[in-house]
Structure 1
Amino acid sequence: MRIGLMWGPSYLQRIKPLKYLKQCVAIRHVHRTAPLCRPAAYNNTAAMLLQKNLLLRNNTLYGYGYGTIRCTVFDSQGNTGPSSIEMKREDLVIQHKLLPRDLRKIEKSKKNDLVPSILVRKDGILISLLTIKALIKSDSVIIFDSVGSGISLSSATQRDFIQSLKLRLKNEASDEVNSHSLPYEFRALEAIFVFALSNLTSEMNVLLTLTQGVLTDLDHNITRDKLRLLLIQNKKLKVFYKKCVLVRNMLDDLLEQDDMLCDMYLTDWKEGIVRIEDDHSEIEMLLETYHNHVDEVVQRTENTISNVRTTEEIINIILDSNRNQLMLLNIKMGVGMFSLGGAIFVGSLYGMNLENFIEGTDYGFAVATGVGLLSTVWFYWFCMRSLYRLQRMSLLNSLKVKKKF
């Protein structure tokens, strides 16, 4: 089973063709040259090849042996060294007492990770929120490069966030006389939430403005291009709504876990202060504040999606009504042509080259014409009356028909 998995398509796409060819030749050579009387040597060689290939596969998938992770480090005073440094993954795990699986959210192989998460450890808080991936400690903050989201540390958005975080940490650190100032880790966490919520609010305002403009235009005129634009905006709103709901659910889950809230007091943990399960009012109030903001964004987005859905239903009703009107017009034209066929039939009988008593009279033409017109009018009136009865079918009539049966 492991050999089949090792040589699967997903692995072949990640290794170089030349290296793959050499490995195939090596394994084939082992199969041909290994003597039957020496199974131990054959097994050792095959095991070494399997171990080497599995190690290469793990390194390719998870980036274990692939250099470093770009990041920016803040000290306890909010100061930073270089704009970005390269840190080895193994050193990051060992130095900050993390587990290898904790770094899956910030690995370079991770692409477009939409699900936010907060992992609380004894020595740090690992947070992945939208485009921000950071490790918060009691006296330092590490901001990782969000390669998968397309936003690097050198981008304008990331630079603004780093500058905002630096100012917040410096201002709070210099205000030592304020006894009610938040701990270092909470200030960093607050800066991350402020930046994430500002991005969500800006994106929401853009989406709602464009969507409201499309809905206003559709109130005056319904065209194919406007319907296509409404469909595109509806898809964007649903993606944004899902993203906001995931953030809100993350905060909900975090607020329900008292032990995790107590573990987020990294400064107290470092100083040896043990908090009981209910002693987490500061972080609880902080999270509830931003939870309310996220919930407001979710509600506004949900209302807009509801308006779009209502508009789509109204447009479908209008289109169905127009379709029914066209079908009704087609039926009326068919009935008219069929009624006219009755008059033509009477005229054709009168014009046949056969002897009859009508041709010898003076009133034959008037009688044939009158009968044809009367039959046409009567047949058309009868069909229109039946069609009008079908149009007047309502819910009450349907209920009466059901009661009869």
Structure 2
Amino acid sequence: LEPNDLPISSFIDDTSYPSRVTKASNDLKLRCTEFDENGNVTLVNGEYKKTELIAKYSLLPRDLRKIDSSMLPHILIRPSAILLNLLHLRVLIKHNRVLIFDAYGSTDSYTQSVFMYDLEGKLRAASADAKQAGSLPYEFRALEAVLISVTGGLESEFEGVREPVVRVLRELEEDIDRDKLRYLLIYSKKLGTFEQRARLVRDALDELLDADDDLAAMYLTAKAQGELRNENDHTEVEMLLESYHKVTDEIVQAAENLVSNIRNTEEIVKAILDANRNSLMVLDIKFTICTLGIAAGTFVAALYGMNLTNFLEESVLGFGGVSVVCGLFTAFAVMWGLKVLRRVQRLRMSGSPGM
């Protein structure tokens, strides 16, 4: 072999290596849409490096990791920002800015677009009344818009899961079918997944409500104006969070009740199937008992059918007598077998059967 005859190693000239480097570099950027204090969109699908976001909004790398890659709901309170990762929304709220991290290309892109439209309308409508007494600060208006979108998404998703489950449960009350049981299994898995997601959202709100220091730190407008709030002075945001916590708790309770109904239906179906199986077994045992009785009667006839002299061949009453004896043996065997079967079928909480 000459040196030029050797094949080129694939690991030396790997065309996929630059693509991996490009993908790794793209992972260091986040696409987001920005709203200003008047509800106007100042940036659409803009790309920020993670280092820029960390430096601009005084964040930590683990904060962006929970927003970018974590699938669990999180509500993080930072000195100058509120980070939200709830279902289809990943939002960063400042005292005068809202950043919505894009979910383009995923199944949540439509719901996120609807949320952006609603958020823009609410922020614009509320900016005109911002100077009135009793109006919510900018960060609380954005937070309420996020919670409305999340609870609305949970309610619509629950309605989409609840209707087919209720329909299948109603049909199973009339007739137990294999296809209906298969559909019930599929819907129960979907309902279990939804229940877990709703419970995680409720737990995130519950955890935030238990932290007084985080609730007081959510007043970003007052903090930007230099106003210091007491740690226990958070009635406004606490009432806001409690109202939506109750909504999510109601959704979780309704999902748990529906899951309980599915389990009860499954137990009833199993009991009915066991009862039918027992009935078939009893019927089989009865046929076996009847066969045993007939075999007991024909045993005598088989003995007399042998080519042996038994002194009854020439008797006038021989045939009738032997037939009566065979019938008595058959009846006795059948009655005895049915009596034993009835004694075994008696179920008692204590003691042996039939004692």
TM-score scaled by structure 1? 0.80
Asked if 1:198 corresponds to 2:152, the answer is yes
Aligned equivalents of 1:20, 1:383: Cα separation in 2: 85
In the alignment, is the contact (CA less than 8 A) between 2:130 and 2:136 conserved in 1?
no
Report the counterpart of residue 7 of structure 1 in structure 2. none
Query: Aligned AA for 2:214?
Result: M
Report the counterpart of residue 77 of structure 1 in structure 2. 38
Report the counterpart of residue 169 of structure 1 in structure 2. 123
Asked if 1:285 corresponds to 2:239, the answer is yes
The alpha-carbon distance between structure 1 residues 315 and 66, as it changes in their structure 2 partners (threshold 3 A), is closer
In the alignment, is the contact (CA less than 8 A) between 2:81 and 2:220 conserved in 1?
yes
Report the counterpart of residue 89 of structure 1 in structure 2. 50
Query: Aligned AA for 2:84?
Result: I
Could you list the runs of 5+ residues in structure 1 that have no partner in the other structure? 1-16, 23-55
Report the counterpart of residue 267 of structure 1 in structure 2. 221
Report the counterpart of residue 9 of structure 1 in structure 2. none
In the alignment, is the contact (CA less than 8 A) between 1:64 and 1:89 conserved in 2?
no
The alignment covers a number of residue pairs equal to 341
The alpha-carbon distance between structure 1 residues 64 and 121, as it changes in their structure 2 partners (threshold 3 A), is farther
SS in 2 for 1:86: strand
In the alignment, is the contact (CA less than 8 A) between 2:82 and 2:93 conserved in 1?
yes
- Which residue, out of 296, 305, 326, partners 2:280? 326
- Which residue, out of 253, 257, 267, partners 1:299? 253
Report the counterpart of residue 218 of structure 1 in structure 2. 172
- Which residue, out of 197, 207, 230, partners 1:276? 230
In the alignment, is the contact (CA less than 8 A) between 1:145 and 1:151 conserved in 2?
no
Asked if 1:355 corresponds to 2:312, the answer is no
The alpha-carbon distance between structure 1 residues 64 and 266, as it changes in their structure 2 partners (threshold 3 A), is farther
Query: Aligned AA for 1:134?
Result: V
Aligned equivalents of 1:363, 1:114: Cα separation in 2: 93
Asked if 1:311 corresponds to 2:268, the answer is no
Asked if 1:126 corresponds to 2:80, the answer is no
In the alignment, is the contact (CA less than 8 A) between 1:136 and 1:185 conserved in 2?
yes
Query: Aligned AA for 2:189?
Result: K
Residues 45-93 of structure 1, C-alpha deviations (whole Å, 9 max, x = no match): xxxxxxxxxxx99x97xx5664521110000001003432112221111
Deviation at 1:177, TM superposition (A): 4.7
Structure 1 window deviating more from structure 2 (113-122 vs 367-376): it is 113-122
Aligned equivalents of 1:151, 1:354: Cα separation in 2: 90
SS in 2 for 1:355: coil
Aligned equivalents of 1:176, 1:283: Cα separation in 2: 17
Report the counterpart of residue 59 of structure 2 in structure 1. 98
The alpha-carbon distance between structure 1 residues 114 and 21, as it changes in their structure 2 partners (threshold 3 A), is closer
Structure 1 window deviating more from structure 2 (343-352 vs 170-179): it is 170-179
Deviation at 1:20, TM superposition (A): 9.5
Report the counterpart of residue 6 of structure 1 in structure 2. none
Report the counterpart of residue 209 of structure 1 in structure 2. 163
Report the counterpart of residue 140 of structure 1 in structure 2. 97
SS in 1 for 2:95: coil
Aligned equivalents of 2:341, 2:288: Cα separation in 1: 12
Query: Aligned AA for 1:209?
Result: E
Aligned equivalents of 1:65, 1:358: Cα separation in 2: 107
Aligned equivalents of 1:189, 1:303: Cα separation in 2: 30
Aligned equivalents of 2:316, 2:205: Cα separation in 1: 99
Structure 1 window deviating more from structure 2 (219-228 vs 171-180): it is 171-180
- Which residue, out of 131, 134, 138, partners 1:184? 138
In the alignment, is the contact (CA less than 8 A) between 1:114 and 1:243 conserved in 2?
no
Deviation at 1:176, TM superposition (A): 3.4
SS in 1 for 2:124: helix
Report the counterpart of residue 7 of structure 2 in structure 1. none
Aligned equivalents of 1:82, 1:181: Cα separation in 2: 27
Aligned equivalents of 1:318, 1:100: Cα separation in 2: 57
The alpha-carbon distance between structure 1 residues 64 and 281, as it changes in their structure 2 partners (threshold 3 A), is farther
Aligned equivalents of 2:26, 2:64: Cα separation in 1: 14
Deviation at 1:401, TM superposition (A): 4.5
Percent identity over the alignment is 42
Report the counterpart of residue 42 of structure 1 in structure 2. none
- Which residue, out of 202, 208, 213, partners 1:248? 202
Deviation at 1:127, TM superposition (A): 0.7
Deviation at 1:343, TM superposition (A): 1.2
Aligned equivalents of 2:319, 2:299: Cα separation in 1: 14
Could you list the runs of 5+ residues in structure 2 that have no partner in the other structure? 1-9
Asked if 1:389 corresponds to 2:343, the answer is yes
Aligned equivalents of 2:251, 2:131: Cα separation in 1: 36
- Which residue, out of 101, 106, 113, partners 1:150? 106
Residues 288-337 of structure 1, C-alpha deviations (whole Å, 9 max, x = no match): 00000000000100000000000000000000001111111111111111
Aligned-residue CA RMSD (Å): 2.2
Deviation at 1:159, TM superposition (A): 1.5
